[in-house]
Amino acid sequence: MELEEIQAANELLNTPGEPRSGSGENQEALIRIVQARFPNKGFCIVQQWTIVRAIASDGDLTKIHVHGHLPLFVFAEKVILDSRGRFDYGNWVRSTMAISFQDGFLFETKNTVYVLAGDGDEKSASLASILSLYQ
């Protein structure tokens, strides 16, 4: 990773974003909601989350949309419950690109619905900066 990418990634992870609120429901209610809306999909309830909106060229945005994605990612500092046991309680997690984002707290990717519990924030960053965190 080049110095410029490291600096951009550091800024992305360590600067405050715009405050957002996820769901205030308790864990049992969140499980019922996500299972009713996405019955055959794994889910992960998270806290201390950040939605990252990718800043991309028109050409990149077209490619993202053509593939059925939204230019959104989630980074969460605390996993509360992962329905498929992939992530342990208290671990951090990062998503792949969203395919839907519903009701301000149901962040769906191809394989998982991230249930955003409690307060979080939203930031924007270049697509290159975001993707550098996946290398």
The residue range of the domain holding 67 is 3-132
| pLDDT tens-digit series, residues 29-75 | 999 999 999 999 999 999 999 999 999 999 999 999 999 999 999 99
- The predicted pLDDT at position 24 comes to 97
Domain count, the chain: 1
- The predicted pLDDT at position 7 comes to 66
| pLDDT tens-digit series, residues 83-132 | 999 999 999 999 999 999 999 999 999 999 999 999 999 999 888 888 87
CA distances from 77 to 1, 42, 60, 61, 97 (A): 23, 19, 28, 27, 17
**Rounded to two decimals, what is the model's pTM?**
0.90
